[in-house]
Structure 1
């Protein structure tokens, strides 16, 4: 599951260019002030402009660089004053005191920024490592189906989200889940751990797909009571049989799409309720909806990080338009890569929320149908 594409790489390049610009800006200001001072003569005094150099250095450098820049700016300012015959001792003292104060404040600011960035990076590494351990790469084939997908983290420091997925070959067939925990940060990751653990256990033990959803809901509710963190989650749970038959339970999730050579259509899949909030729904288990994949048909499942990804004009990513366009459909990997590229182009590599998607397609040998019946919606 690659996490970078050419559009994302170009976004990284832009970030690097911006960082270089911030690093060089204070020295450009210093050089311009010196050149302008020399060219304009004694009529125009640009020494005060040099007071901007240490704060600009503090934006991209550490406190040592700020002190060096402050010393350079101070010496340059004193040289400017030296050429002014009217410069008195009081003027020198005032200029020196002001520049020293600005430099000291900028150095303290730079030290605090570096310390904060280090803490954020450490937290991001810890949380990101936890999430990578949870969301291990899916095998290209499992249970007679080809699988492809991606998880793309939002570009927002350590605000890691709660998108999750899993695919397991069980005695009841291939079982897949794609979900999204509300909120971000460590609590969202902790809720993800709870839900994935519940799914991995229930997928093997529970024959009824509705009970798998119920076990996940109960696990999340126990976590809510223990932690007093009342976040919920959406999820789509899929059971894929060897005959191409799918059984699906939608727990408040984005509806899946059926993709074939002609285009795509949304599955008419009713929503039962959000995980962690089943107690607000009338009694009874979620009822799975059945569908049999037609030859050449794939199931595409995404999180709302895909459908609600915003572009430069704050417009949402149009998944329907992407699927009706020239999107490659010859394999799950090709469709996944095309979707990831289109998403990166739309957002210019800056997702505001985590995004995940899965594509499920019958294996190369096709699916077996009892009696050779055609694929139809069955519920």
Structure 2
């Protein structure tokens, strides 16, 4: 019986260097930091690597350079469509820069969020945290230990990209008042959600300016399954219109209103927040605050990469505007 064939030896940096006649360090630089090698040499090295079937040993490279070329993307609920655009936008920036996203679902838990960041620290170079549930103090402390950028958060000492949904809340209330609504309820999100409290503050401020009576129900988890409880609570307030913390909650509320025979918008108007996939084809299509979610992720990644690159004048805070998208779930106040 013939001896088993020995597996082909994996091509190394030295093999690529020998093929191209350049130093091993030049090969390494061309494959990891191509902007630091002239175009002709870079193309020659890339062609040789392809011919030899060379693929980098990422674990060894991380040990040698201290870099993993990975970025952790933390989301509080991976099933929430809001985060689809966060993930997509981040990948659009990370891929061309030679980084791989490491997706982490923190399950709406501040403890799990921090534990994941600390436990997996050797696996990523920096982190993008979308909708952190950490307190300002804990997030600021973490930012001292880990290069990170927060989305939907404004905390001193933490680079951030803030989606200005509180301004959208004011637009939503003005829209409802223009339709004659004078009693409006806010269906709130989690108590640990930083944007939730800012939206409620903006809601009260706009109500005082417009002379509207407002109430708050909740807190509710930002999930469609929580919509029934939120809808029942809103109906108990006697409000003729409601604004939900996010679109998932709003869509669940629409379903509950239909079950109870409440006609939207004839009996009650409904506004959501985020303009997620599906908000425009639920029944009725949802009036909502449209947020530039994918753009926020791209800006967050570019800010993080500048931080990792050692830029001394990084953007500490970027604010992106929102606007109200009016659909069929809002209309004139009843009566």
Length-normalised TM-score, structure 1: 0.23
Q: Which has the larger radius of gyration?
A: 1
Q: Give the structure with the higher percent helix.
A: 1
Length-normalised TM-score, structure 2: 0.25
